[in-house]
Structures are given as C-alpha cells and as structure tokens.
Chain A
Amino acid sequence: MIGAVTRMWDAIRGTGDAALTVPAMDGAFMADTAIETADVLYACAEPDNLVATSSGVVFSTGGTILRVEQGGAPVVVEEGDASVTALAALSDGRVIVARSGAAPYILGEVGQAPLFPDTKGMTGDITALTVLPDGRVAATIGAEGLAEADWPRDFLKRGSTGSVWVGLPGQAAQRVAKDLAYPNGVVADDDGALVVSLAWRCALVRVRTGKAPETLLSNLPGYPARITRSASGGYWLSLFAPRNQFIEFVLREPAYVRRMIAEVDPRYWVTPRLSPEIGPLDPMLEGCTKKGSEIKPWAPSLSYGMVAHLRPDFHPDSSVQSRANGHRHGIRSAVEADGTLYIASRGGNVIVTLPTAQETVQ
C-alpha cells in the first residue's frame, strides 16, 4: 500500500523510481579520449571476452576463440558456429568456454569436457565466467532462458531474472543468487566472495549464499559488463553503453515499449547500443545532429566506450574512454596482463592496448 502511494507520488514528482536523472560523467568518469587514441592491437569483427590465461591473452570474435600473439596475427584456439558468450581460464591454462545455447565446457588439449555434468535449471546464456581462488567456477546467467544476443528485449522489459551459479569443475553447480537484473560480470574479491555487476541496475553487488546481495557500487553512469582484476590490487570494470535520459524515459513508458517490440525491427529499437554508428533508421537524439559534418563529443549518444578502474573497495578512481564522436564503443571486457591493458571494443571492431602504469591509481 505504502509502496503504491510512493510510486504514485514519485510519478507525479519525477522522483525515486520515476526520476530520469542520469549520473554526470564527472570525477572518476571525467571525459577523456585514452581509448580512442590507444594503439590498435587487432582489427576484427566484434571482439569480446578477453581473458588472461597462463599462456597468453585469449579472446573471441563471434564463434571463434583466438589467442593474442605478441607481434603477430592472433592464433585460432577453437572455431565454432554458436557465438562465444563467456570465457574463463583455469590455473592450468585450460580455457572454460560458454557458447550461446549450449552448456559450458572446458577446452583441453584433446577435446571438450563439460564444466558441470548437470546443468538442470541453468537455462539462458552464460554472460560471465570466473575461476575462484579455491578452484570453483562461478557463472552468471543474464536472464532466464535468454539468448545473449537478445539482451535488448530483457533490457526493455527491465528484466530481473538473472542468476549466479557456483561449482567445482566436473561437479554439480549450485545457484547462489537469483532474481538479479542482468548479471553481466563476475569476479572474486580479496576475501574470495563473488562480486557481480548488474547491468540493468547499473550497480555492483556482493553475493553470498543465503544472504541478500550487498550493494557495493551503484548509480554508475553506464551499463556495467565484465570486472577483472588489476595488477595494482583494484579492478577494471567495463561499461558497455552510457545511460541516457531518453532511454530512462522510454523504460518508464510501457505502452511505447510494447508497441516498439511488436512493430519495430529489433535492430532499430531504442536501447543502449554497442556500435557507435547511427544508421539512417536508428533512433537519434537531437544532440547527436551533425553540425559542420561532425557529431560533438558531448552528444547524448546511445553508445560509448569506457573502462573504469576501481579501488580494492570497489570505488571508482579513474577511467579511460572513447567519447560520443569516437569509434571504440561497446566495450564489454578489458583485461590486464604484463603491464598492458587489453580492451575489446565490440562495437568498434578493434582490440586496443594501453600501458597500465599511467592509468593506475594516482
């Protein structure tokens, strides 16, 4: 009852859940162009899932898994039809692979072995994988029964059916959290507890079995994806798209969303975007109008490139970016290895590298 009254009041006043305000990109998120000016390692279609293994950095493009070769073209590790949705590295160098519509498996020298023999209840694509210090593997499912490529639908529904699963390789996995708003990244903190990024809530939460998730960081200016460890003791958090007032508004317009889902080609929906390109049929906001043939860097674009650095207590202290007029947008994963930060721009179709010394905590 009180909740209903509060919601009505909020709807009138534009406060609480009805507020359309988005956090300013200030402080740790102050605008820069480090990603835009970074060195290109590879240009490839939709690179994603960067993972540091004991034998080098591994990533995927579509259904192909590749390994970074210093000073040369990447080496194919495995090819497949279904797109790779998450990767993780075991301490012995083997790679755990999750593909769309399939159970996760361990890629060994001789072939594939199922990660969990029993995946009952684990419906929906895995969005992130990580190996815990005790050898267990954590997997996040974005939304129940949802193919990863279909995330815009879950976003527009403001879905909250994601879950986190943990288990030893070769044994049954346990669900440790459910009803999450699209878990999109997972990492173990210093105590070995799971920290999960919730994309639709723009927040990081710590998940413990039997306890309610504890919010560590909220009100992010973008939608978070993967979290990885940084060498300085903190974390790298990829934000795959910026928050935008118009999108917040659309989310609160159920009739528009229903009609858009029913009548409009999903390619042209009003959602956060990975690609910086605003095609002729794409939704466009007034501030993105080209003046003098160019989009302004401060334009309210639906895509952006950002990797934030978090302190060990998960507070952001700096970030690297590609702004609205840039091209390296839609960054879902970044990983640090040997003093280099590898950043995969899925929307910009490149992997870029940054030396980490200058980017770490001041």
Chain B
Amino acid sequence: MSDTYSNDRPGTWTRLRYRLIPDHAIGEILSKPWIDTAIPVLFLLMLAGFFSVVSPEFFLPANLNNLSRILGENMLLAIGLAIVVIGGGIDLSVGSIFALCNFVALALIFHFQVHVALVFPLVVLCGALCGAFNGLLIGYLRLRAFLSTLVTLIIIRAIVEILALNYASTIMSSYDANGWDLLDFVADGSVFGLPSSFIFALIVAVIAHIFMTRMRMGWHILAVGGARRSAFNVGIKVRFTVFMTYVISGALAGAAAYFYAARLNAAGNQTGLGLELIVITGVVLGGVSLGGGRGSITKAMIGTIIVVSIVNGLLRLGLASGGSTAILGIILLLAVVVDIRWNKNRLKVLNRAYVSPTLVEMDEMPSIEEGSTSPYARNAALKDARPIGLGVLDGPEDMVLDDEGNLFAGSREGDIFRFFGPDFTRHELYAHIGGRPLGVQVDRDGSIVVCVAGMGLYRVTKEREVVPLSVRTNRSFFSVLDDSRVRMADDLDIAPDGRIFFSDPTTRYEISGWLTDALEGRGNGRLLCYDPKDGRTKTVLKNLVFANGICLMNDGDSVLVAETWAARIRRYWISGPKAGQDEVFLDNLPGYPDNINRASDGTYWAALVGVRSPSFDLALNMPKFRKRMISRVAPDNWIMPNSNHGCVIKFDDDAKIVGSLWDSPDGSHPQVTSIREHKGKLYLGGVFNNRVGEIDLPDADQEWTGYTSYWGTKA
C-alpha cells in the first residue's frame, strides 16, 4: 500500500512536465476559427509529400504550370459553388453552365468575330443568366435546390449537345479571332510565372473573401445559410439573397469557361462533364459545410487545390479515368462524413480539450478552528449584518462610498445603483453600463471608476456619463489566444499620479467560467495599468493565478494584488526605487482572497470568497484527476472551492494577520467578495448575494473615510 501510495504523489518528472508543456495551448488552438481550415491544409501537405515520393515529376515546372491553369478555372467554379453552399444551397449545374458558356465564347470569338475583350462580359452574362434561372426556381419559386439544379444540369447539357452536334464544325471552321494577342494571353500567358487564369482566380478569390467577410451581402448569405428563418425574421431579403448566390455562381462559371475556351478552343459536347463532382468534392473537402452557414472562400480554394492535385496526380500515375473518379467519390464520402461528425461534435471536443488543469501544490492550510489561537479562528462577527439594497441588488461584487457618504454598488444586470447615506434606504439607478460591473473605486473628482467584466475599465462621471477608459492592452508575443482584449476586468485602484491599476483574472474564460478557472490553477491572470496621460494600457504583471483584488498600499509606492486560487497576495511596486518589482506578500491563506481595501487604523481588509478544503487542495495536486472529472462529470457536480463560508481578514503593512471576521454558517453573507470601511462601519459585498451588508466597527475611527484616505479632504 505504501509503495503504490507514494507513486500517487507528484514527483520531479510530473513537476517538470507541468512546468514545461503548455497543455492549455491545445484547447486554445482548437478554439481558433481557422482550425476548420487547418485539417485540409494538413491533408494537402501530406498529399504533397505523397506525390513527391511516388511521382517526383509532379513537381516539375511544366506540370505545375499546367496544373495551375486547370486550377484557375476550377477555383472560379469552386468560389461560386462555395457561395451557394454557404448560402444553404447546392449547384449541380455548374458543369453544364460551364459547357454552354464555353460554346458561347467560342462562337462569339471565332464565328461572330466579337473582340476577345468584349467576349468576356458577354460570357459572364450568359453564365449569370443561367444562374438566374436557377435562382428564380430556388429563390423565388422555392423549389428544392438539389432537384432544380439537377434539372438545369440536364436541360443545359441537352442544349449544349444539340448545339455541338449542329454547329461545332461551323464555328470552329475559322481560326481567326478579333484581338488575337489578348486571346493568346488569356490562353497561355502568365504574370510573374503564374498563368493568367490562376492570377484571375486569385483576384476573384480575394474579392470574394472580402465580399463574404466584410460586406453586407456576404453576411446576409452567411445568415441565410446558417438560419434561414432567423435571417428572415431579422429582415434579410432571403429570396433575393438566395437568388443572388446562384447568379454569382453562374457568372463565375461563365468566367471559368472563358479561360477554358481560350485555352483549348474545343467546342465538343464532352466539355465540363463531371466537373461538378470535382468542384463539390473540393468545396466540401475544404471544410465548407453542406448544411450551409459555415465555410469560407479560403476553405473552398484549399479543397479545390487538393482535389485537382489528386486528379492530376492520379492521371500521372496512369490510373484509368474510372479509377480516379472512384477515388474522388471515396474522398467526397469521407469529406461529407467528417463534415457532419465534426460540426456535430466540435463544441464537445473543444469543451473537453479547453480546460487544462495544471499541477498546484498548496501548503498545509492554517487552522480556522473556532476558539483556537489562530488569527483565522472562526467566529460569527458578520452574523448581524444589516442588509442594504435587498430586493434591488443582484450580485454586488464590490461597492464604494464617495465623499458625500453615498454608496455605489454594481448589479448583475449591468447597473450601478446609488444608495443615499447615511441610512441607505433610498436608492436610484445611477448608471447603466451593460456589462457585469465588478470592482468600483471613487476617483479624486468624485467620479466612479468601474471594472466591467467582458468590457473593460469604465468611468462614470459626476454627470453620469459612461466613458470607456481601457478595453485593450498590448498583445503578448507567445500567447495563442488574442490576449489584447481585457477579458474580465475585476478590481482596480488608483495611484496618486492618476494611473489606474486593474486586474484581469483570466485570459481564458469569460466571467461565467470564473470557477472553471479555479480548476485549472494556472497563472492565467494579469495586472494591467491604464495611464490617463496617453490613454494607453499596458500589462505590467503576467501569470498571476486569478488576479483579483487590487489595493494601493499606504506608502503609495506599491499595490497589493490578490491571487485568488493561489490563496496568496502579491505586492507590486509601481513607483519609487523598487518600481516594477514584485514579491509574494502574504502566502498560504486559509481561503481565496478577493478584494482588498484599506482599514482606518492603517491596516488592510481582504475578503475571502471561499475557504480551502482539504479534498479540493488534494484535487489541485492531481491535475489528471481534475481533467478526467471535467470530461466525465457534469459541471454542477464538479468539486470546487467551498464558497459558502464568508470571511474577512485584516492584516498590516508587515503582512501580519491582525484578525478575521466570519459569518455564521446560516448567515446571509456566505461568500464575501469585497469590503469597505466608512465612518466606523464595514460594508460587505458578495458576487452571488442579493444585498450589501453593514456591520458596526465600534473600535474603529468613526470619522475615517476611504475618500479622505486616498485624496485628502476635499479642496
């Protein structure tokens, strides 16, 4: 037993492993929107590797040039089809439209002797008209996309065959074109070594990408494909949007046919046969979801490159053409299966992979036993707290009193309420911010500076104007997540020079996931500094374990930062000879420190939001246990810091614990997240509570206020 037991404890290797391997990056990479594209890209690289071994001549310039010429045409088709698919439809008729446009182009160039430059818009128009026919059927008559385009495929193919049978020899009798040089360029020319059609396809791709991601119409297409009914309900012209996707697809098929016609000059009825298979396979393989609403132009392009390379490579390998079609079919099947499974399960996979607990080693916690000599000994000092704002407030995480003795407290719905002193029975809605207000502080001019989760640092002026101060900081170089956004501004304090130091507890979770961050135990948090001189925000301390409460120390040269899940408080010098340095100020607290504030006797109050429990401390030491728990147990049943026992501790400048105030087990302040002393009274806030509490401090200075402690008496 003793041997197996000692194996359960983390050894040097485990410590090293958790220090060196950034597990959390996996989930962060998975949460990136481009991850859907990464899989086909990986596939493409593997494919390239495969061909370089099996068929080295694949990469010869001649083949690549030929390949990119075909690619250019296919890409144009794929872009059009991708737009249709993203809009929730399907276009099977692209091959037929392509063939018709090819015929039209040849007829215009060689038979009617129209100038080659003028042929292009005419061919595109021809394709667009075919697409418009699809669009009418599907968008306005609301027929099934699959059946309608199948019908169009057959009809247009029939037209092409009739035309080819009767007129192919007629139009191809002459090889004289109006604008021969241009035709030559379109057919065989290249820019910077890249074929003209490929260059054109790239330009169209860039425009299409901007169209889909930056323009109103593109967004409408995404919306219609994602949720047709909702799109209709928000006022999008669904029928017109659907119609337009087919017009775009048809027009691009026309453009592709123009290049094809110029390149091959072949009016045969075999043109574009089976092309829709290649293009659809490419689009789906790239990760454009057949269900609509998900996908991008980039994905369609990558998929098309893969498929065209495979078809070309298989031809080079000498596979019979039936064989390569079969392989294409198999790839399409795989792509569809992966598409469906991935879309169904990606959030599940992400949720499991995202939370990544790390090894945390807590020291044995100090005693909190009632009646013991420990400074943390439990008592019931908060039992008789008088309620303020009962029935008004929902989750006042923090509150502050201004120089006139009014109390300001945030509430969950995004409001800041003002309670009029000294009895706080009257209240008014002071300002509506919208986000979740957390820490509040009063500035020299009496304005309220507030940390708003999900939004940033805001100021509410005396005129009740809400002004954003800081919503972003510098992006760190090695972070996978974009950490430039202030994710969950939590608490702040204002330095004598006006700089505002505030905490961002975790860059990995929104406020709804703040307890999940406790299960990770990693230093995901940071201390930020907003400088009013240039309006910029800088990250001054990183890797803090849930950076929470901030308090300017009495010396004015340093701030205290609570690291909640590490049960410690850190000191950071903001000015003076040690500016920029930091050290652990208070370690191994019996609970999880939240906000810190000054006390009237020159000491500090800190609220403990929860108490450490031995079973949770043990779980912190076993990261794999927590990882398995997260993936297998419902969140409601996760073991968590015990936040049902409120406590306030008091300590001095020498980090000596002076005392503690506890709530009774059935009291009304089960978790205390903030405290403020004001004129001999102590005010208590709680992030899950429905009130602010008030208790008397008979031994305290009855005239002391936080405002004068920071800013002196009002000038």
B634 at the interface (CB under 8 A from A): yes
Given A268-B613, A269-B615: A293 in contact with B640 (beta carbons within 8 A): no
Q: How far is the CA of A244 from the CA of B637 in the complex (A)?
A: 8
Interface centre among B615, B622, B640 (most CB of A within 10 A): B615
A264 at the interface (CB under 8 A from B): yes
Looking at chain B's contact residues, is the secondary structure mostly helix, strand, loop, or mixed? loop
Indicate which residue in B5, B612, B632, B640 contacts A14 across the interface (CB closer than 8 Å): B632
When distances are taken between beta carbons in the complex, the residues of chain A under 8 Å from B140 are none
Please tell me the size bucket of the interface on A.
35 or more
When distances are taken between beta carbons in the complex, the residues of chain B under 8 Å from A256 are 8, 618-619, 622, 625
A258 at the interface (CB under 8 A from B): yes
When distances are taken between beta carbons in the complex, the residues of chain A under 8 Å from B632 are 14, 20, 249
Interface residues of A in 280-298 (CB under 8 A from B): 280-293, 295
A191 at the interface (CB under 8 A from B): no
> Does A263 lie within 8 Å of B618, measured CB to CB?
yes
Interface residues of B in 586-631 (CB under 8 A from A): 611-616, 618-619, 621-622, 625, 628-629
> Does A281 lie within 8 Å of B515, measured CB to CB?
no
Q: Mark B617-657, 1 if CB is under 8 A from A, else 0.
A: 01101100100110011111111111111000000000000
> Does B665 lie within 8 Å of A277, measured CB to CB?
yes
> Does B5 lie within 8 Å of A258, measured CB to CB?
yes
Can you name the residue of chain B whose Cβ is closest to the Cβ of A267? B614
When distances are taken between beta carbons in the complex, the residues of chain B under 8 Å from A260 are 615, 618
A218 at the interface (CB under 8 A from B): no
Interface residues of B in 645-703 (CB under 8 A from A): 645, 665, 667-671, 688-691
> Does A287 lie within 8 Å of B688, measured CB to CB?
no
When distances are taken between beta carbons in the complex, the residues of chain B under 8 Å from A55 are none
Instruction: Tell me how far the C-beta of B509 lies from the nearest C-beta in chain A, rounded to whole angstroms.
Output: 14
Q: Mark A201-228, 1 if CB is under 8 A from B, else 0.
A: 0000000000000000000000000000
> Does B9 lie within 8 Å of A259, measured CB to CB?
yes
B378 at the interface (CB under 8 A from A): yes
> Does B644 lie within 8 Å of A264, measured CB to CB?
no
Q: Mark A294-310, 1 if CB is under 8 A from B, else 0.
A: 01000110000000000
Interface centre among A277, A293, A295, A300 (most CB of B within 10 A): A293
Q: How far is the CA of A265 from the CA of B616 in the complex (A)?
A: 13
B368 at the interface (CB under 8 A from A): yes
Indicate which residue in A244, A264, A288, A289 contacts B618 across the interface (CB closer than 8 Å): A264
Q: How far is the CA of A287 from the CA of B690 in the complex (A)?
A: 18
> Does B614 lie within 8 Å of A284, measured CB to CB?
no
Can you name the residue of chain B whose Cβ is closest to the Cβ of A244? B637
When distances are taken between beta carbons in the complex, the residues of chain A under 8 Å from B368 are 280-281
Q: How far is the CA of A264 from the CA of B642 in the complex (A)?
A: 16
Q: How far is the CA of A255 from the CA of B5 in the complex (A)?
A: 7
Can you name the residue of chain B whose Cβ is closest to the Cβ of A327? B666
Q: How far is the CA of A268 from the CA of B642 in the complex (A)?
A: 12
A42 at the interface (CB under 8 A from B): no
> Does B689 lie within 8 Å of A292, measured CB to CB?
yes
Can you name the residue of chain B whose Cβ is closest to the Cβ of A292? B690
> Does A278 lie within 8 Å of B615, measured CB to CB?
no
Q: Mark A16-38, 1 if CB is under 8 A from B, else 0.
A: 00001000000000000000000
Q: How far is the CA of A167 from the CA of B619 in the complex (A)?
A: 47
> Does A285 lie within 8 Å of B640, measured CB to CB?
yes
> Does B629 lie within 8 Å of A268, measured CB to CB?
no
A245 at the interface (CB under 8 A from B): yes
When distances are taken between beta carbons in the complex, the residues of chain A under 8 Å from B612 are 281
A155 at the interface (CB under 8 A from B): no
> Does A300 lie within 8 Å of B642, measured CB to CB?
no
Instruction: Tell me how far the C-beta of A249 lies from the nearest C-beta in chain B, rounded to whole angstroms.
Output: 5
Q: How far is the CA of A87 from the CA of B611 in the complex (A)?
A: 40
B4 at the interface (CB under 8 A from A): yes
> Does B615 lie within 8 Å of A270, measured CB to CB?
yes
Indicate which residue in B7, B9, B611, B635 contacts A281 across the interface (CB closer than 8 Å): B611
Can you name the residue of chain A whose Cβ is closest to the Cβ of B613? A281
Indicate which residue in A253, A262, A290 contacts B671 across the interface (CB closer than 8 Å): A290
Give how many A-B residue pairs fall within 8 Å (CB-CB): 129
Can you name the residue of chain A whose Cβ is closest to the Cβ of B621? A259
Report the interface size for chain B: residues with CB under 8 A from the other chain: 47
> Does A259 lie within 8 Å of B638, measured CB to CB?
no
Q: How far is the CA of A256 from the CA of B669 in the complex (A)?
A: 32
A151 at the interface (CB under 8 A from B): no
Indicate which residue in A253, A265, A278 contacts B628 across the interface (CB closer than 8 Å): A253
Given A246-B629, A258-B8, A281-B613: A289 in contact with B690 (beta carbons within 8 A): no
Interface centre among B1, B612, B616, B632 (most CB of A within 10 A): B632
> Does A293 lie within 8 Å of B622, measured CB to CB?
no
When distances are taken between beta carbons in the complex, the residues of chain B under 8 Å from A14 are 632
Can you name the residue of chain A whose Cβ is closest to the Cβ of B662? A280
A192 at the interface (CB under 8 A from B): no
Q: How far is the CA of A244 from the CA of B670 in the complex (A)?
A: 23
When distances are taken between beta carbons in the complex, the residues of chain B under 8 Å from A292 are 394, 688-690
When distances are taken between beta carbons in the complex, the residues of chain A under 8 Å from B618 are 256, 259-260, 263-264
Given A278-B642, A284-B644: A289 in contact with B688 (beta carbons within 8 A): yes
Interface residues of A in 73-128 (CB under 8 A from B): none
Q: How far is the CA of A285 from the CA of B615 in the complex (A)?
A: 11
Instruction: Tell me how far the C-beta of B410 lies from the nearest C-beta in chain A, rounded to whole angstroms.
Output: 16
When distances are taken between beta carbons in the complex, the residues of chain A under 8 Å from B7 are 255
Given A268-B614, A283-B613, A285-B638: A255 in contact with B8 (beta carbons within 8 A): yes
When distances are taken between beta carbons in the complex, the residues of chain A under 8 Å from B669 are 293
Q: How far is the CA of A285 from the CA of B611 in the complex (A)?
A: 13
> Does A290 lie within 8 Å of B378, measured CB to CB?
no
A71 at the interface (CB under 8 A from B): no
Q: How far is the CA of A287 from the CA of B644 in the complex (A)?
A: 11
When distances are taken between beta carbons in the complex, the residues of chain A under 8 Å from B633 are 20, 245-246, 249
Instruction: Tell me how far the C-beta of B145 lies from the nearest C-beta in chain A, rounded to whole angstroms.
Output: 39
Instruction: Tell me how far the C-beta of B185 lies from the nearest C-beta in chain A, rounded to whole angstroms.
Output: 60
Instruction: Tell me how far the C-beta of B670 lies from the nearest C-beta in chain A, rounded to whole angstroms.
Output: 4
A279 at the interface (CB under 8 A from B): yes
When distances are taken between beta carbons in the complex, the residues of chain B under 8 Å from A300 are 636-637
**Could you show 6 A-B contacts with beta carbons less than 8 Å apart?**
A249-B637, A255-B7, A278-B644, A284-B613, A286-B637, A293-B669
Pairs A-B, 3 closest by C-beta atoms: A287-B636, A290-B670, A280-B645
Known: A264-B614, A286-B640. 11 other contacts (CB 8 A): A20-B633, A245-B633, A258-B1, A259-B9, A264-B615, A268-B614, A278-B644, A284-B616, A285-B636, A290-B670, A293-B668
